[in-house]
Structure formats: structure tokens, C-alpha cells
Structure 1
Amino acid sequence: MDVRRFDVFNGDADGICAQHQWRLAYPAESTLVTGVKRDVALLRRVDAAADAEVMVFDIAIDANAAALRAVLDAGAHVTWFDHHSARHAFAHPCLHLFWDDDPAVCTSLLVDRHLGGRYRAWAVAAAFGDNLAGPARMLAAGMGLSTTQADALADLGTVLNYNAYGECVDDLHFAPQALYRALHPYADPFAFIAASAEYRMLAEGYRDDCSRMSGLQPQWEWDYGAVYVLPDACWARRVSGVLANRVAAAESTCAFAVLTPCPDGAFVVSVRSGAPGTHPANVLCEAFPGGGGRRAAAGINLLPAADVERFVRAFSDYFAGCGDGSHAR
């Protein structure tokens, strides 16, 4: 009897590269379940029956706990790799959970550990895309990669991650499942970079969109961080994560939030913490409906316009202890 298989993964660099590593190691036909980066309640799309095999990469259990119980109750076997908040995790004989919320870890690095480094270059690209440049460069050096090669993987991870940001799939250059299918034939990411038309299109789109970021300024700013509000445009939605990662990398001890408008007037929020050990980003975001994530980077899927000032006050109060001053301008 054929086994029904489902591969459920976040549509960003970490989710795609984690899924890719796994299926390079364990080839099998499966139903792909993914979406834009903020589309994290993915397990509810899985119509699992008894003895189905469900692989999950880079989505939080906390956003899928009820759906996970339903899938397990149907008799499915679930293997889950993730690094987001997992307060609602639970034990089950058919659930195999590989979880670590260390700020220096992403899901692709967890898969890399499990596979013993078999496809490590893809994990390095994912770590770069997940704003973990330090761990990524350490791994690249350990592999004997040159600076030029590490930089190429950094560019790859960045554009894969960039592609996942949008209100809906129509905002993206490629649907995440299409992008995964485009890169999956390549065990070597350098071959994908050299040969793929999809990579060239993403790199060009990334350059064009980033060229529009130069004039962006914070709406609120303190010594310990800042809050940006982006214009209501497709390019702005695509670069929201890039902006958050860039400003966080430029001032690594500060906190930042990027608010991206939605068509209904609400906002998607991305938060980066400069002190994930003492001021985890996910804790701030979880105080708002639809909020969650991990220590260093988290977000709110839908912040009503009426709650923006409340969020800014909460952001300021929460991160004030990270800096030396509290004046806004």
C-alpha cells in the first residue's frame, strides 16, 4: 500500500533549505504544503489518514498545536524540525520533535545536525538567509569554503528569504513550492547559482527592490531601537524582512520593528531583538493576537491600525532596558 506523505515547510530560505536537505537525503514523492513567510498555520491543510507520514520544517508548534493533535489522532506519524517558540509542545508516541530555540540556530542547521552535514552548504545558505551570518561563516570556514564561496551562499540565502515576504503569493516573484521544485534537482547550491534562471530573476528583483529602500527613515526612534513604517506597495512588502535584517545587523545591540501595510489597513509586523537572551522578540509579539516567532526575530501577522500606537508603546517599554536612553524623535 502506498504511504501518503506530506512535506510542510515555511516558504522562506530556512524552510525551503531544510525541506530540500531532507528530501536529498530521503527522496520520496510528497504533497507540498507551504506559503508566504507569515502563513504559518500550515498543518490545518494536511488531510492526514492513518499511517500517513508528515514532515514539518520551520513552522511553530504554538501556531499549529490543535491541528497537530488532529493529525496525530488520525493516525499519522509526524517528524517536526523547528526553532520557534514551542510552549504548546506535547509528547506523543507518533511525534518526533527536533527543537532548539537557541538564537544561533535555525531549522536548516537542526536538519544539518541530524543528517551529519551531508548537504551542509544548503544549511549555510539558509543560516545566512535567517540572519545568522556569524554561525553561517563559521560553518563555511569549517567546510573549507573561500570567502568568495561563503559570500555566494550569503547572496543565495538572502534572495531565497526575500522571496517569501508578501501579503499573498501574488506579491512574490515565485510561489514557494515552485521555487523549491526549481532548486530541488541541485544537490550543490553553487550549481543552482550558476545555472538557474530562477536565481537570476530573484537576484535582479532583489537588487531593484532594495534600490528603493535608501530613503526609508524610522517613524519612531530611540537610543535602543527604532520602528519603521513602510509604504503600501508590493516592493515594500517584499523587502520588509530585508530591511529588518539590515538594520539589525548594522546595530546589533538595538531592537527594530518594521510595520508593513496590508490592503485592509492593518499591518504585518517584523521585530528584531538586539538582546535575545534577556529581551526575546517573541515575548513582545506574543502579547498581541497572531504574534510569535523566536528569540532574535519574531512578528505579528495582523496588527490593526488602531493598535499601532499601543504596539509602539509596548515596543519602547519592552526594549528600553537594552539601551542608555529613551528619547524619541
Structure 2
Amino acid sequence: METISPESPLASVKSQWPGKALFTENQTVRQDDLLKALALAPYWEDEHGVVYVLPDAPWGHRSSHCLNALLARLEPARANAVLRPKESGHYAAKIHASAEAPQGTRAKRWMIDPLPASELDHFIQAFSACHWGALRTPVFRAWQ
């Protein structure tokens, strides 16, 4: 590892770097964001899957990936989709297949961006019709 020369502009940045306090603050913000997301009721759910639609708020944007991953870990038998609104009036959708989806036959995760807001009900119909434990590919091609 290189040592930064005292004359280097990076030396002044490093001397002012808040270090661990910055990471602790970021971790606290992420935890708060995730707790807000988990407090939301699912937009749609059944025994095979769940869909969350996050609000157009900074914490909603920051927590979408973490919520998607956490749901996959907490409920591996259920597929999940986490949607967050975008400035364009569309959604960005992160989809995670259930652990029962066969390995090597298809992707376990999808991203649909943009998903037109007018297609939300159609997306949920397609999501709910997926046989997550079967060898067929989900019907998400319409938005890709």
C-alpha cells in the first residue's frame, strides 16, 4: 500500500476524513430506511410471492435493493418484487425468484426498468401467474 505524501492534495482529504463515523452514520440511515420499508404493507401477496411498491421518497429509493435481498433471505420459498417510482413516472422493478426455482435453467433475478405505471396491474397478473418451481421462464419479456 502506498503512503500519501504530506504535500499531496489527498493528504488534506485523508486528514479531514471522518472515517468510521461516516460509515456508522450511513449504516444507521440504511437500517432506518429498511425498517420503514418493512413497515409497509405489501401491495400484493399470496403464498408464492409478494410485491412491494415503495413510495417516491429518498428512503424508498435507498432501501429497494436491501428490501429485495432481505425478503429473499427471510422467505426463500416466495418470490418477491420490489418496485420504486422513477422521475419518468415509471417504476423500476427488482424481482427475485424463490429458492425453489431450478438452478441453471433461468435467471434468479430480473430488473425491469422502465415498467410503465399503467402496466402495474398487468405486471402483478404476470408475476402471480409464474410457476416459480417449474422450468418455465416468467412472463416478463413484455417490459424488457
Structure 1 residue 319 displacement after superposition: 3.3
**Aligned pair partner of 2:72 in 225, 228, 248:** 248
Conservation of the 8 A alpha-carbon contact between 1:266 and 1:304: yes
Does 2:16 correspond to 1:204?
A: no
Conservation of the 8 A alpha-carbon contact between 2:102 and 2:133: no
Conservation of the 8 A alpha-carbon contact between 1:269 and 1:299: yes
SS at match of 2:84: strand
**Aligned pair partner of 1:314 in 121, 126, 137:** 126
AA matched with 2:111: G
Measured against aligned partners, the alpha-carbon deviations of 1:113-141 in whole angstroms (never above 9, x if no partner) come to: xxxxxxxxxxxxxxxxxxxxxxxxxxxxx
Structure 1 residue 207 displacement after superposition: 2.3
**Aligned pair partner of 1:258 in 68, 82, 87:** 82
Q: Which residue of 1 aligns with 2:45?
A: 221
Conservation of the 8 A alpha-carbon contact between 2:101 and 2:133: no
Cα separation, partners in 2 of 1:208 and 1:321, compared to 1, 3 Å:
closer
AA matched with 1:298: W
Q: Percent identity?
A: 31
Structure 1 residue 320 displacement after superposition: 5.7
Conservation of the 8 A alpha-carbon contact between 1:279 and 1:318: no
Pairwise mapping of residues 126-275 of structure 1 onto structure 2 (< 5 A)? 195-274=19-98, 275=100
Structure 1 residue 314 displacement after superposition: 1.3
**Aligned pair partner of 1:304 in 93, 116, 126:** 116
Distance 2:84 2:29 in 1: 19
AA matched with 1:249: R
Conservation of the 8 A alpha-carbon contact between 2:54 and 2:84: yes
SS at match of 1:319: coil
SS at match of 1:300: strand
Structure 1 residue 296 displacement after superposition: 2.4
Pairwise mapping of residues 32-51 of structure 1 onto structure 2 (< 5 A)? none
SS at match of 2:39: coil
AA matched with 2:39: G
TM-score by length of 2: 0.69
SS at match of 2:37: coil
Alpha-carbon RMSD across the aligned residues, in angstroms, is 2.6
TM-score by length of 1: 0.33
Name stretches of at least 5 consecutive residues in structure 2 with no aligned partner: 3-13, 135-144
Q: Which has the higher contact order (CA 8 A, sep 6+)?
A: 2
Conservation of the 8 A alpha-carbon contact between 1:255 and 1:319: no
AA matched with 2:116: P
Does 2:107 correspond to 1:277?
A: no
SS at match of 2:59: helix
Name stretches of at least 5 consecutive residues in structure 1 with no aligned partner: 1-23, 28-184, 186-194, 284-294, 323-329
Q: Which runs of 4+ in 1 moved over 4 A?
A: none
Cα separation, partners in 2 of 1:239 and 1:277, compared to 1, 3 Å:
same
